[in-house]
């Protein structure tokens, strides 16, 4: 069971999950390609990268935004929707061309939640804004 589902409180519902862009898998592909000249040694790195990427969960519920990572240990960053002050998108030239970027959620206090290398960062921003600032 995904962490976000597992950590839901009473009355909380998942609004959306944010997918990693395919470019985030580029290191894993590189390690697999390099497995041929290195006689399979880099397959260990490819397996680690696969597990690392698979362990990342990013999403929004009707009460909070959640970022979780960790293969064996778990680290999560969460922010209640009513604590959000700003949403920032960071997209370089490759990100604009290929459709990926980072979305930083800034709230009251010192903590930020950063969704890295997400697919379609504008859609992520709109989804968070639509839940945190409902119209009507």
Instruction: Kindly tell me if the per-residue pLDDT of 120 is higher than 80.
Output: yes
The length of the chain is 136
29 located within any domain:
yes
Mean pLDDT of 35-52: 92
Distance CA 95, CA 59 (A): 20
pLDDT digit string (tens) for 9-30? Answer: 999 999 999 999 999 999 999 9
Domain containing residue 53: 12-132
Helix (H, G, I), strand (E, B) or coil at 74: coil
Distance CA 87, CA 17 (A): 17
50 located within any domain:
yes
1 located within any domain:
no
Nearest to 114 by CA among 123, 122, 104: 104
pLDDT digit string (tens) for 64-94? Answer: 999 999 999 999 999 999 999 999 999 999 9
Residue 35 is part of a domain; what is its CATH number?
2.30.29.30
Query: What is the DSSP-derived secondary structure letter of residue 36?
Result: T
Instruction: Kindly tell me if the per-residue pLDDT of 136 is higher than 60.
Output: no
Distance CA 20, CA 18 (A): 7
pTM over the 0.85 mark: yes
**Total number of domains in the chain:** 1
């Amino acid at each position: 069971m995904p962490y976000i589902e597992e950590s839901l409180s009473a009355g909380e519902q998942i609004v959306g999950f944010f997918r990693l862009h395919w470019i985030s898998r580029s290191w894993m592909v590189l390690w697999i390609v390099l497995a041929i000249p290195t006689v399979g040694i880099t397959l260990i790195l490819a397996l680690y990268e696969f597990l690392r990427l698979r362990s990342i969960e990013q999403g929004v519920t009707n009460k909070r935004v959640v970022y979780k990572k960790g293969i064996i240990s778990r680290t999560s960053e969460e922010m209640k929707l009513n604590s959000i002050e700003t949403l920032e998108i960071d997209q370089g030239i490759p990100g604009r061309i290929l459709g990926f970027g980072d979305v930083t959620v800034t709230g009251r206090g010192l903590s930020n939640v950063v969704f890295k290398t997400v697919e379609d960062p504008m859609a992520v921003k709109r989804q968070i804004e639509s839940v945190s600032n409902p119209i009507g």
